[in-house]
Chains A and B, each alone.
Chain A
């Protein structure tokens, strides 16, 4: 039998230059592939995949209540993701948004609980500032360790997530526990003065969501128009050039990390001072981790991040609805996120590589 003129198993080869088409279509392709895998999974579970997709992706946008709830989820996701996108632009692998969010909530709550019986106008700003500063502090420790001892940022930020969770648990079981709460691990309800105002007459969407959108747009503006944004981009893409130009890597590392910490801290305090209204152990269903995926899905661009957050928030909402309507565990959302990140990284690979079905001895062909 003669050999085929092409290979059945293609070889990988590097592209001469990165493919622009793949750069743009990679996130879309990844979402599409995720949906296919999801459909197969739902079929195997004995659910109608079309109905499941409808519940997951369409239902969350179907009425005012659901849209409100989706916006509530968008707030923290977007804040964390924008901060992380800037970190990754600067080649700083901060995985600690989750911990910074939790500590932001904890620190902000400690202040808010001083105003349980008060209606002072400055109570809310003070609470928010406390949250932001706590988030920054939590980002500052791994940053200091990196700069002083050259420790690995990925490892320290992950470890600080676990420390943050333990601190939060200690807070709600100990000093911040509501004395009239029958021993439940929860703080007292925040007063009106330390609660974020609602955006609409109905629903739970609050001022924090607006903060997130405004901050995302501002970050996009600063990244493309400011000298600082330029320095961050240079620092991330070519450290030798940044050094040659005289940009201070220490200064840029601090700015970027503290900025991300501040945004994550704000996300945390906006959760407890917004839809939750008190400090509880389960503030975040992993917003800080999902934000990593969102930052990549949004191509590390603050505007792209807004779109990616929208998608992820829909997925979160859809997960809740799927649990109610289809009896599928919410763990399915974690799985969806994992599959999505997997496909995204796989698709990104083809920006710089391609499959070659031609025979390797093609040199002599033709």
Chain B
């Protein structure tokens, strides 16, 4: 009883002392062994405000938003919600308050459908207020242009589509504060524009939005206020519309950020890797069929492949890496050897390295140490007579960590304890460390901050200059123009012609991403030759139409 009385007193004091902000954070501090993730962070958001949270990887953004969403309990500091002091013990408490969050690593059940996934996070009250959830999803999907089919299973969705489901989940719950961790990184320019329309609409309806992004031009375009973190502290706040991307970047990383305008393009030499007339039906029931893919990859060049998520990139990557080795032997060629039937391990031994799209759970085993994760793909020189040279491996891992400035406690850190960007730097370093002849790289800087992206770009260019052939698949068109020497685009399982980056422009590639290169003849030929088309082909075509 006493306890309750006290609490209401506190709440009233809180109400009097605070402005009518939707959310206020006062001196939030969170310490982890070895580092202070958040150091006395104070910030606030008004109703209807779009607020950017900026900072390098490891600056403490994730920890801060996790404190707001009840995933992490701060050691010190107070959180006020609508002027009342609250303790957000768990995400369900956060959701009850009206806080929704879209994480960088998605939290969806793969075996369930979209609407089942959304249903799972709704309380009974919310559920009864929605007569037909699928209809509601379709309606919101139309309203906000999210293009989500409520009946599809999540395992058949690409990363981009999954993110849209996560956003939809918050929309269905009609949140008062929406936290978005890098929402635009997998969307096409048009989809980003649509999303921004949604966010502006939500803000106009009074919803506050906390927006984490590394794309600074988006922040200047969209956000009303920005808070910039470095080393766990608030180091600046600004009004983005009065700033430029460059000035904000400078605040984020200090004086280090000298964004180069562009890198020199290179001409490749001999063809080391080629794909010849590759057509393959998908393993997944809703996957994309690969159709007549042809390209050559030359030593000393970066070939960039653009495309919207879910147009066959995942399927192409697993066929090239060897995780899916059903294609005909002669369709894939590495140094004049037909490797279409070779396993991933065999291809790796021949000098083909691969950085996959999913960092955690594929590129790295979450609960294993960085040393063990080095051994995952790099066993050459560390295994003698079947036994692992752990000492040597640990030294090498520590060296990788230093060389690629991976922020972690050391080689014993579990992969899952690293932030997305730091894990990516580690995986890039591990793959490059094997001195590959061919590096296949999927979305290398997705969710990575400016500083880390810069060092990943540098690493890729250095590898190219050493004579490696690099295939870069990315949904970030700016990045492709920055790095790729030649470019192509995928759409619906077709690959466009390959052109010199200098001889094309963002418009042409953008049109290719939408499939303008697929001529009628080609597609009808394929349709008659293949058996009945899968449902996804239908839906994809409808989408394009």
Contacts and interface: CB of A to CB of B under 8 A. Distances in A.
A245 B377 contact: yes
A246 B347 contact: yes
A9 interface: no
A234 B347 contact: no
A306 B346 CA distance: 38
A244 B363 contact: yes
A16 B84 contact: no
A226 interface: yes
A241 interface: yes
Contacts of A227: 375, 379, 383, 386-388
A360 interface: yes
B72 interface: yes
B355 to A, nearest CB: 10
Interface in B329-358: 343-348, 354, 356, 358
B362 interface: yes
B93 A362 contact: yes
Contacts of A244: 321, 323, 344, 354, 356, 362-363, 376-377
| Residue in B97, B347, B362, B372 whose Cβ sees the most chain A Cβ within 10 Å | B362
A13 B91 CA distance: 11
Interface in A216-262: 225-228, 230, 233-234, 237-238, 240-241, 243-248
B493 interface: no
A327 B258 CA distance: 85
Given A237-B365, A360-B93, A363-B88, A245 B372 contact: no
A248 B365 contact: no
| Residue in B4, B364, B383 whose Cβ sees the most chain A Cβ within 10 Å | B4
A238 B97 contact: no
B365 A241 contact: yes
Contact of B386 (A2, A226, A233, A362): A226
A364 interface: yes
Contact of B362 (A16, A226, A241): A241
A237 B87 contact: no
B4 A5 contact: yes
A362 B72 CA distance: 16
The prevalent SS among residues of B at the interface is mixed
Nearest to A365: B7
A150 interface: no
A300 B323 CA distance: 29
Interface string A316-330: 000000000000000
B89 A240 contact: no
Given A243-B344, A364-B84, A237 B376 contact: no
B192 interface: no
Nearest to A18: B367
B57 to A, nearest CB: 20
Interface string B80-108: 00001111111011001100000000000
B71 interface: yes
Interface string B423-457: 00000000000000000000000000000000000
The prevalent SS among residues of A at the interface is helix
Nearest to B355: A244
Contacts of A241: 361-365, 376
B390 to A, nearest CB: 8
A89 to B, nearest CB: 13
A240 B362 contact: yes
A249 to B, nearest CB: 10
A88 to B, nearest CB: 16
A358 interface: yes
Interface in A323-366: 358, 360-366
Contacts of A361: 96
A228 B386 CA distance: 7
A234 B11 contact: no
A306 to B, nearest CB: 22
B412 interface: no
B345 A248 contact: yes
A363 B387 CA distance: 53
B2 to A, nearest CB: 9
A248 B366 contact: no
Given A365-B3, A366-B7, A234 B365 contact: yes
Given A16-B71, A245-B344, A366-B7, A238 B379 contact: no
B93 A363 contact: yes
Contacts of B376: 234, 241, 244-245
A246 B345 contact: yes
Contacts of B386: 226-228
B264 interface: no
Nearest to A13: B90
Nearest to B94: A363
Given A241-B363, A248-B345, A360-B93, A225 B388 contact: yes
Contacts of B375: 227, 230
Contacts of A246: 322, 343-348, 377
A181 B9 CA distance: 91
B514 to A, nearest CB: 31
B72 to A, nearest CB: 7
B10 A366 contact: yes
Contacts of A225: 387-388, 390
B499 interface: no
Nearest to A225: B387
A364 B86 contact: yes
A234 B368 contact: yes
B545 interface: no
Contacts of A360: 92-93
Interface in B257-289: none
B525 interface: no
| Residue in A360, A363, A364 whose Cβ sees the most chain B Cβ within 10 Å | A363
Contact of A248 (B96, B343, B363): B343
| Residue in A13, A227, A246, A366 whose Cβ sees the most chain B Cβ within 10 Å | A246
Contacts of B383: 227
Nearest to A240: B362
Interface in A147-182: none
Contacts of B379: 227
A332 B166 CA distance: 52
B504 to A, nearest CB: 32
A234 B6 CA distance: 52
Given A247-B345, A363-B86, A364-B7, A237 B71 contact: no
Nearest to B376: A245
Per CB-CB distance, the 10 closest pairs between chain A and chain B, nearest first, are: A246-B345, A246-B344, A240-B362, A238-B365, A227-B383, A363-B93, A363-B86, A365-B7, A245-B376, A241-B365
20 contacts: A227-B386, A227-B387, A234-B365, A237-B365, A237-B367, A238-B362, A238-B366, A241-B361, A241-B362, A241-B365, A244-B356, A244-B362, A245-B376, A246-B322, A246-B345, A246-B346, A246-B348, A364-B84, A365-B7, A366-B10
Interface of B: 1, 3-4, 6-7, 10-11, 71-72, 84-90, 92-93, 96-97, 321-323, 343-348, 354, 356, 358, 361-368, 372, 375-377, 379, 383, 386-388, 390
Interface of A: 2, 5, 13, 16, 225-228, 230, 233-234, 237-238, 240-241, 243-248, 358, 360-366
Given A227-B383, A365-B7, 7 more contacts: A230-B388, A240-B362, A243-B344, A245-B348, A245-B376, A246-B377, A247-B345
